[in-house]
Amino acid sequence: MTKKIINMLLLSFFIAFFPFSFTNAQATAPKPNQAVVYYNEACGMCSEFVNQELPGLLAEQGITDIVKKDYINERKNRAEMNDRATALNVPLELQSHIMTFVGDKYILAGHLPAHLIKELFNPAVSSKFKRIIVYQDKMHGDETDYQVLAIPAYADAYVGAIKTYPLAAPINQYLDYLEQNQDQLKLSSRVNNQFAKSGSLLPVVLISGLLDGINPCAFAVLLFFIAFLFSLKRSLKSIWQMGLVYIGSIYLAYLLIGFGLLKAILFTNSPHFMAKLGAWAVIILGIINLIGYFYPKFPIKLRIPQASKEMLSNWIYKATLPAAFVLGFLVGLCTFPCSGGIYVAVIGLLAAKTTYWQGVNYLLLYNLMFVVPLIIILLMASNKFAVDKLTKWEQSESKSMKILSAATMIALGLIILIWFT
């Protein structure tokens, strides 16, 4: 039975993680006069636009080599689309359900009106930029405006903020703005690039992961497990092995949850919305924790479900390495409701502010910091006397830790809302 469970857990790891590795091959850049269109064939209006309207509009500009790629029925096409967008530094908020790449200069996101496409390819207009992204994602008659971001002819990177214009406004209105504010935008671009290189997200990720890891649920289970192993007169080496397997399994479980959340957020194509939603969620969860501390009878409790405790106890009493692995994995899953709001908020932030692989690296670091407190406890629990002291401390300070956790969640949510969204 134990082997079957472990095999299932390992299989879930490969399914969740390795599709990222094997399907994200770099897409070959389209030729300057070739258009590559990524879209959902099952969407009626999308299919009509891609198959009937767009080819005619592009043909008028001399673009007749059009490659259409359905990213719903062909999963590799979605990975290719994401790679192409990442390679061209397309912000996630400008990635639409229809993405048209003409060479590496024109990125047409969504259902663009005919007048914009005609203007973009006008030589007098196209000479003003090295690359341009134009985004209009709405349909069903809800279209009112479009957004645009460009690398102007005088720069080597996108400058300024994403600008929004009424749907009838000419693209030259934006390009004139770039020309008129050239000096200011150049300076702003250098400052922003320096800010991005400074790794400003790193402290947020590291501190959030560490604070998320100060989790009474996982502490209590680890301490009880170690104390039980001492009662069985297990050697220190055996206790260390099982403790490390337990911690490693928690890391794996939380990492898989993170990959699942990241995939879900990227699939929605609304990372900024998800970052804000996660920030508000973590603030609300923090407030619930505070209410629960001051009003113990408050019905909403953020803790390991009561029904799961008996199951965890059963795995503790098995006291084997496979049992330690399964126990850690289950604790990782069961503790997510306790403080997972922090995790959701940080992953939403990573999806909105980083490229995919930067986000993955930050995710690995976050989870490493998440298990650091458990590693420290394992280091301190080298003898039974220390375990007894740590257990008493955990029980006496659990209320204080709840206050700290609640305050941290509220503060993190506010930081994300104010400085990062």
State mean pLDDT over 313-324: 65
Closest CA relative to residue 109, chosen from 175, 54, 161: 54
DSSP string, 90-146: --GGG--SSEEEETTTEEEEE---HHHHHHHT-HHHHTTEEEEEEEE---TT---EE
pLDDT tier, 117 (very low <50, low <70, confident <90, very high otherwise):
very high
221 within 8 A of 381, measured Cβ to Cβ: no
State mean pLDDT over 90-97: 86
Please indicate whether residue 186 or residue 53 has the higher confidence score (pLDDT): 53
pLDDT tens per residue across span 284-315:
877 877 887 777 777 665 555 555 555 555 55
DSSP 3-state of 166: strand
At 109 the pLDDT is: 94
Instruction: Quickly tell me which residue has 């990062």 as its tokens.
Output: 420
Write the burial class of residue 118 (CB in 10 Å: 0-12 exposed, 13-18 middle, 19+ buried). middle
At 135 the pLDDT is: 96
pLDDT tens per residue across span 136-156:
988 777 788 999 999 999 888
Closest CA relative to residue 95, chosen from 134, 47, 130: 134
pLDDT tier, 376 (very low <50, low <70, confident <90, very high otherwise):
confident
Average pLDDT over the chain, rounded to whole?
76
Say if residue 17's pLDDT is above 90.
no
Instruction: Quickly tell me which residue has 């995710």 as its tokens.
Output: 363
Pair type for strands 145-152 and 129-136: antiparallel
For residue 45 the two structure tokens come to 């209006």
Closest CA relative to residue 373, chosen from 355, 357, 397, 354: 397
